[in-house]
């Protein structure tokens, strides 16, 4: 990953674990819901907003910070 892309991340590099979810919009939303139901994430606020993936055309991404 480049330094430029690291600066775009909404969380500081503080050593927190991150789970990146990249895919089609509805697939990403499904995984967010699945993680919330299975209690991998305590609530949806743990995910960054859904944004177009800058490295994959037509794909969306979110990051779960634990």
- Residues of the chain predicted below pLDDT 70: 1-14
| Cβ atoms 44, 36 nearer than 8 A | yes
Q: What is the pTM of this model?
A: 0.73
CA atoms within 13 A on the CB side of 60: 14
State the pLDDT at residue 55: 86
What is the reported pLDDT for 51? 93
Residue 39: Cβ within 10 Å count: 8
List, edge to edge, every strand of the sheet that includes 60-65. 18-23, 60-65, 51-52
């Amino acid at each position: 990953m480049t330094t430029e892309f690291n600066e775009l991340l909404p969380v500081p590099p503080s050593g927190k674990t991150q789970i990146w979810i990249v895919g089609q919009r509805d697939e990403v939303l499904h995984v967010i819901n699945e993680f919330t139901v299975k209690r991998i994430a305590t609530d949806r606020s743990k995910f960054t907003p859904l944004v177009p993936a800058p490295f994959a055309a037509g794909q969306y991404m979110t990051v779960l910070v634990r």
